[in-house]
Chains A and B, each alone.
Chain A
Amino acid sequence: MTNLIRKLWVPVMTLMAITGMGQMPIFKRYYVADIPGLAWLGEPFTVHWVHYAGAAVLMFMVAVITIRWFADREPLTTSGTLRITLLALLICTGYIRVVKNLPDIHFSPTFTMLIDWTHLLFAMLLGVAALWSARTGRRSYTKQTESLRRI
């Protein structure tokens, strides 16, 4: 299963990044949604649903990896700790936003804005951290084994 997760990790994270960016109405503006097969990126509700569905897949993968990590307790690398922290913050703010979108639940305007902005900020920081790790050969999350490498 870890192999499958390893294969799915980058595509799922890419989907989350694209649908996350797609929450801003930029794909229609900049002709991306005009590309055959990508019209859905210009549909606000579809992009929102795909972001939710992608998040569910991601949460399944994160849960499996977390349980496995608790079993092995392999020490994390610095770059691994950084990316995992940012991902955890991204997940927390994402879940808060999901709860806010339920009927009868709403948060104060300031808190909502704080969640929106920090979710965006953590996503950008995670993107930068992921690129930096890849470019400097710091892809591994753990120090000892290959089991979680490059996920």
Chain B
Amino acid sequence: MTPPTGTHMRKHSVIESTPNSPLSRRPSFSRRSFLKVFSAAGAAACASAAKPAEAQNTEKQEELMTVLDISKCVGCGECVAACKESNAHKYPTVRKPIPKMFPPRVKVEDWSDKKDVDDRLTPYNWLYIQTAELEHDGEDFELNIPRRCLHCTNPPCANLCPWGAALKEDTGIVRIDEDICLGGAKCRTVCPWHIPQRQSGAGLYLDLLPRFAGNGTMLKCDRCYDKIAEGKEPACITACPEDIQTIGPRSMMIKHAKALAASMNGYIYGLDENGGTNTIYVSPVPFEKINNAIEKGRGRPNLAPVKNSMANEETLTSALIAAPLAGIAAGVLKIFSDARKEKQND
């Protein structure tokens, strides 16, 4: 990790912990208690296996959510390094030379020689630290914000993937199957933060029509789904010396995030964005101000308010339910009116 410029610490903390303040205590779902929380969920799942099917259907596994207290992040980059190390085995193997694309307007995106880039999201860097220097309520702040996929609750990247390569798991994890993905990058287009990143010259498209369809494979944070499946916590959470992330069942995490925000008279981001995500950032400074202060662009997502991308689909679903019912009614009416006309003619 290239050392970030500056100290990357809050210049003035608004949360001075006192023995009785909520922040002076470890959050009830600290990373160290994650395994307990998670294994409890696992135990509940095992216990439910022994219950009748009817009972099982009513018990739904809660999605996992992470809460990031950005007032504590010092921008050390340990999480970024841990993510790279832990997920290196998932990075694509690029077959060179990468086929030229047709038509030529389609550009190859090759990061295979720039794997060390860590100041933005790339196919080889799924997490990076954004920095914001700003002033709020007469105090100067230098905030560091670890950025990656937010794992939306109704993810447009997965819903609009025509190929079934982007998917959401029961745990709430949204990930892209790099062996199936064709690299059309529609997921990046429809993601409000344009999170997934493309690596050309790898993936299934090479075995189909490499010049004419597809363009590689898309990569992004998969919330260390393999570790989660083993009951372990994501690498970035384990590595953080400041314990800024907390992971646990969604309902508990929402309570935790709200309490944390209240304790610092702070703000939250991610709870309602894009219809809801499974990542909440808690900050002592309004996100509007942070959004104005951070560097944005390709691979550098914003922190602006985001409307639910899937809202129109949700409305149109009602039309899809009403349309056949209206058709049945219209068909029945027509049959009756035809029968009446026939009778009158007789």
Contact = CB atoms under 8 A, between A and B. Distances in A.
Contact of B169 (A63, A71, A109, A113): A109
**Most central of A26, A52, A101, A112 by chain B CB within 10 Å:** A101
Nearest to B328: A63
B263 to A, nearest CB: 30
Interface of B: 103, 105-106, 153-154, 156, 158-165, 167-170, 177, 180, 184-186, 189-190, 213, 275-276, 309-310, 312-314, 316-317, 319-320, 322-328, 330-332, 334-335
Interface string A57-72: 1011111111110010
Given A23-B160, A62-B327, A63-B331, A113 B310 contact: no
Contacts of A31: 103
Nearest to B309: A45
Interface in A1-29: 1, 23-26, 29
A25 B185 contact: yes
8 contacts: A56-B316, A63-B325, A63-B331, A67-B334, A71-B335, A102-B314, A104-B153, A115-B164
Interface in A79-112: 95, 98-104, 106, 108-109, 112
Q: Top 6 nearest A-B pairs by Cβ distance?
A: A63-B327, A67-B331, A113-B164, A116-B164, A23-B162, A52-B316
B314 A68 contact: no
B309 to A, nearest CB: 7
Contacts of A101: 154, 159, 310, 313, 317
A53 interface: yes
B320 A59 contact: yes
Contacts of A55: 320, 323
A53 B316 contact: yes
Contacts of A113: 163-165, 167, 180
A49 B312 CA distance: 7
Interface of A: 1, 23-26, 29-31, 44-45, 48-49, 52-53, 55-57, 59-68, 71, 95, 98-104, 106, 108-109, 112-117, 120
A103 B184 contact: no
A63 B276 contact: no
Given A24-B162, A68-B335, A71-B335, A60 B313 contact: no
Contacts of A62: 324, 327
B89 to A, nearest CB: 20
Contacts of B314: 102-103
B96 to A, nearest CB: 23
A5 B164 CA distance: 33
B313 A48 contact: yes
B196 to A, nearest CB: 13
A102 B159 CA distance: 9
Contacts of A59: 320, 323-324, 327
Nearest to B322: A56
A53 B310 CA distance: 14
Contacts of B156: 45
Contacts of B323: 55-57, 59-60, 63
B317 A98 contact: yes
B159 to A, nearest CB: 5
Contacts of B313: 48-49, 52, 98, 101
Contact of A116 (B153, B162, B276, B335): B162
Contact of B326 (A63, A71, A95, A104): A63
A49 B164 CA distance: 19
Given A52-B319, A117-B164, 4 more contacts: A59-B320, A59-B327, A115-B164, A116-B161
A108 to B, nearest CB: 8
Contacts of A114: 164
Given A24-B184, A104-B153, A109-B169, A66 B275 contact: no
Contacts of B154: 101-104
A2 B135 CA distance: 68
Nearest to A71: B335
A49 B186 contact: no
